[in-house]
Structure 1
């Protein structure tokens, strides 16, 4: 009997060593969670045997539990790397179906999908039509391979200060003669096809107190009619137009020479003033932009993924979905630092970073293995001593058996 008991001890010590070796081997595996071997004693007694003199029958490995404690967050130079600080798991879809992982080393495949090293696709909550995220469904996240479409300029906001003591220019207005106007400012505007055009606005003081004429030139050609803006003599603020916006100026696409749709420009001077002696441009804004190519991807702490384009635009691509489980230790290990749900783990609860206990996302970083190397080396020594002690027990039992056999 002692042979079998000691043999069970050897097997248990070997399992202990196997688990410890697995932990040590994965000390540098991103998102890896260490394990520990759990043991229980074995008694070969009938259920109605109440004797307190029964000896045990050895030991068995009752389970191998994983420790889902937080690993250190190491920063990298890859914007697609993501680390979770919290209890959540990334949701991945691949050949084996849906799996869950803490390893956030992602890249882009040839079709533009965000994948891990096992070509499993990262799942996100897609962007709905109103700009929110559809948290009731999941989709593969795919980086845009097309250009960002242009937007024609429609609204122009000009915040300037016109000097109150400016003289009235002499002569007929001539854009090529600075003495026929007081001041000018320029900006770039865009037609419906994203072609840039230079818009220059000229300002001329009139003989009427606190009144200025405004003229618009686009690509060197005057557009629309001369408009008048006036300022309050007491406050210096804009008096007319009352709402700050002049009548729109329409430029036909044929005149622009690009085949674009007609351009309609609305100029708002609501923040303009007539103060002091100096001309100044305090703000100049127009809402158009040209086509753009994607230059990078940004991920915020809540998992919102945005594509950044050369035209200065950001486009929402989705929000990284995170999953948590009531019993993570019940999940089935699938290799490649991933797990699958089981009956014991319960079903996943899906959410986004920054909510409940799903955790926060850190872009440009990876969660390191949570293996404590010092602790594992101590475990290795302990398992080694246990193995040696059980081997010695077998040797002792053998000597006793040999003594009995040699009795005459």
Structure 2
């Protein structure tokens, strides 16, 4: 790859953003201009190994040929109808996504937060229409340290004060319990509970993996209580952990699964709520909608993503290379790493605070040609594209070792 000519350098462009862009992000000081596979290139021609993959939105790497081809072909035909009309790509996309996830129905949306909001609406509607919860009494139980998005409803049940402070008043009807605590969950569930909404692995919290049996316990508890199990797989799903869905690491089938990020192939925002007909079938025309949800371009790219996952290749790669990742991180424990959690090609790495914050470690890695992102304190996330090679992965781990020990 060669960098395109630019009149201004990275720092000039970064400074130019300050007066015009609202400060909702604090990006690393790198200006990406081109990308392919697991690599990105800045405007000055420096190359970096992408070990974040857009928080899993780039599970298949940058500009995967099959996905780019699907987008190009659809751009020449039809991009948007709105859902006021049928189009020729949506039914095929929905059928294949339902088959991939073992579900009955698909509700297409755009962003992950939209999928969560849609899941909340569906769960409440189900509680009133099917379970018989009195009007406006439905509750949803969520886990502390969750990250489901940043809309006002969602931040209202976040325990992250940075996300919450200054945005109230918040929507009622949510109960927060500790993650990975079945006893606390059982105590919070009652006859008003519409659903338990959790991430099978908490990504933003630092890739927190629950104890074996926790997800199966949630499934059994919700079944006994007559409420729904809603799994937010927006970051963890679609191959990231070595399975199509992270819940598949236990014999668990949720009532509803929320998908996003990787579903758009790193090309367009695509999300979906998938689940049983009994649950998603409660929606009637006019009760929910989205102008762009399920648009032809999104359906074409989403179908190509499903086709990649149907082969099982990417799930196998994540599982096999996950062993390389875990072994490499284990070798760094006591050498700058104080602990880590990993499943498939996803890891939260706790760095010795004496060596710097997660942000500082991320900046040092960036200067050495590896891009990661911090979470909280001295924890960084590793989530390379599933197309990364073993050699590239070992190189990134070597760079982390260098940064931590030099």
Give the TM-score range, shorter chain.
under 0.3
More helix by share: 2
- Who wins on radius of gyration, i.e. which is larger? 1
Q: Normalized against structure 2, the TM-score is what? A: 0.21
